[in-house]
Amino acid sequence: MIVRPRENWFRLLFIWNGSVLQSIIPQLIFMAVVSSLAVFTHGRVFGEKIPLNTAPFTLFGVALAIFLAFRNNASYERFNEARHLWGSLLNAARALTSQMLCYTPERTDTLRIAQQLIGFVYALKHELRGTDPTADFVRLLGSQQAERLRDPIYKPIAILNEIRDELASPQQRCHTSDTKLWMFDEQINELGQIVGGCERIASTPIPFAYNVLLHRTVYAYCVLLPFGLVDSTEFFTPLLCVFISYTLIALEAIASEVADPFSTAPNALALDAMSRNIERTVLELCGCPVPEPVKPIRPYQLT
């Protein structure tokens, strides 16, 4: 995720990292070639003049802008919901840790359960990104539990079940009243609901038909545009068409990135940094040494 300080208006014009420009340069080059051919041939294809003017592009452009706005709003809703879920994850992890420390101070395994809670957070991150959690499990939970967690498909849920089992184990019931168990169970249920919400976003993409329709419409509009402008703008046609194409194609690319908030794209959520932040706050509550926060892997980018 790109995190930048506030830039002045002039520097913002030339920012490279974090924009989608670097990913759509081939498309813009293609549009520059098509626009140049339209100027060179005076709007003719195989010797036949394409009878287009600016009027239909004006009407069609308004409809396309509305459709792009709908697509971007749908994508941002997914991103925003994912961010809220991870914010709730931070709150629930803090609450459960604080409850264990304050309401059951006689327990000797609170720190171990807190480590499992941190392992749960990293398990969720790896599940959403489809990466291997073994290294984090070994670091947080030890090699024995990491090996035990190799087989479960839904590793975050398996860890939550272990936390619940330890909090309600018969040897611990003498230290924990039913009211406290109910209180712990509420936080664990909240964590489970957060997992379900993240899995819903990750496993339910925006319907493919929307992507296909938008993609085809944007490129059809951009390819035909120079033939509608060439008679009125002449040699300025490539410049205008590349600029308009940049706006439309970039909006489509941004929508595609934001629609998958758990990926490693520059504009996705910084799950590494967020997981480390939860680890830091849980360990701080337990009075343990706090690791350093995640630093950008390159200027202004967190993962």
pLDDT band, very low/low/confident/very high, at 120 (cuts 50, 70, 90): very high
| 3 within a domain of the structure (yes/no) | no
Domain assignment present for residue 148? The answer is: yes
The H-or-E segment that residue 60 falls in is helix 54-103
CA distances to 84, 104, 263 from 126, rounded to whole Å, are 18, 31, 10
Average pLDDT score over residue span 3-25: 70
Of 158 and 207, the one with more pLDDT: 158
Residue 212 lies in a domain: no
Asked whether residue 102 is domain-assigned, the answer is: yes
Reported as a pLDDT band with limits 50, 70 and 90, residue 191 is very high
Comparing 16-25, 135-144, 146-155, the range with the smallest average pLDDT is: 16-25
**Residue 256 within any structural domain of the chain:** no
Q: In angstroms, rounded to a whole number, what is the distance separating the alpha carbons of residues 243 and 249? A: 10
What is the four-CA torsion angle of 100, 105, 106, 107, rounded to 10 degrees?
Answer: 30
Q: Is residue 115 part of a domain?
A: yes
Q: Is residue 166 part of a domain?
A: yes
276-301 pLDDT per residue, tens = 999 999 999 999 999 998 877 665 56
45: helix, coil or strand? Answer: strand
Is 1 part of any domain?
no
pLDDT recorded at residue 66: 86
Q: What does the pLDDT read at residue 301? A: 64
State the average pLDDT over residues 201-226: 90
Could you give the number of structural domains in the chain?
Answer: 1
Task: Read off φ and ψ for residue 49, nearest 5 degrees.
Answer: -75, 130
> What's the confidence (pLDDT) of residue 171?
52
**Global pTM?**
0.87
- What are the b/e assignments for 100-113, b being 16+ CB within 10 Å? bbeebeebeebbeb
Q: Count Cβ neighbours within 10 Å for each residue of 198-212 and write b for 16 or more, e otherwise.
A: bbebbeeebeeebbe
What whole-number distance in Å separates Cα of residue 256 and Cα of residue 253?
A: 5
Q: What is the pLDDT of residues 64-110, one digit of tens each?
A: 888 888 889 999 999 999 999 999 999 999 999 999 888 877 666 88
Q: How confident is the model at residue 1 (pLDDT cuts 50, 70, 90)?
A: low
Q: What percent of the chain has pLDDT over 70?
A: 89
Give me the domain span that covers residue 102. 83-206+273-289
Q: What is the pLDDT of residue 10?
A: 62
AA letter at 139: R
Judged against a pLDDT cut of 80, whether residue 239 lies above it is answered with yes
CA distances from 265 to 1, 28, 201, 227, 255 (A): 7, 21, 16, 35, 12
